[in-house]
Chains A and B, each alone.
Chain A
């Protein structure tokens, strides 16, 4: 599975959380463009892209000594930061969801 799927599976994020809160009978269909879910998925795709770029550079560096090492380390650091950010976002979302679920209604 690619990076985005891994993150999604681990964090259990399925769609726009904010829009799934509420009585099950009133299903709100998320708007297509600029919806929270879209932003989230776009972000995850960005992370996946960074991981793929870093992976490509690592492969090139492993076989060819001419790849400048700073390109590899920079790409790896960017990927790591993107992943950590995504993880933080996921944590906050889960936290927010729990808070909402615990509210007495």
Chain B
């Protein structure tokens, strides 16, 4: 049993990365590696949203803004400014952080429902800006001309194998950093604010500041997800900033279970599989997705991983002779 949580998480991360790197040996097809790359983008994005919803209790319905912003900033920096990949990556993180700070400062003082709606409204502002500003963004056609992938540090992202490994590494590193943040005093303060903001304020915590920090962190990692997808499709489309991205993010979290750190990852995988499966049979994906969402919302509420950990906790409790079925705390 390893006592130190950061060391354990780091071991998990290394193990996960090795596993992901080895998987193409078992599944050599392009379909598989493409799936993992798309999953890496959505998983980072969904996990970042869970920092707000699951850990912070701030139900953002406009998180897709950062996904779209990340994709467009990165693609534009690469295409128009000719930046190198690390520079574009770092600049996009700065842009996303700054935008998140401004929007967060406006939104986070508000009551729950206002917060959801206002974040959504800001996302639609970005979407309409992308559509309207044709000269820069290419309007509703999306960015044309492709995103160049110049080599850096010996990494050649135009090679599928390198791209795959790069996306896996970014996924694992992002998850590790977010996990570490959530296990830090900052993460526990955030949970405390979620559970009882007034009490947190009485204890001398700057509720507003912690929430804003969480909003900025989530905005940055939402942007990382967007960067990965724009690197993969070698473009950026207005759909990346459309409100449905936010809806999907919320659903991924709920699907996987927001009480578990890796829940959003599982939810992203399930939703992507569902998408690939359904679009093979019908073009009415949203109809099917809508029905699945309704079934879920009115039935299974804790998410798939939540259900698994619940059953697990019950088993553990049963073998220990305890009678209370423990629910996992986030």
Pair from one complex: no
| A residues neighboring B (CB under 8 Å) | none
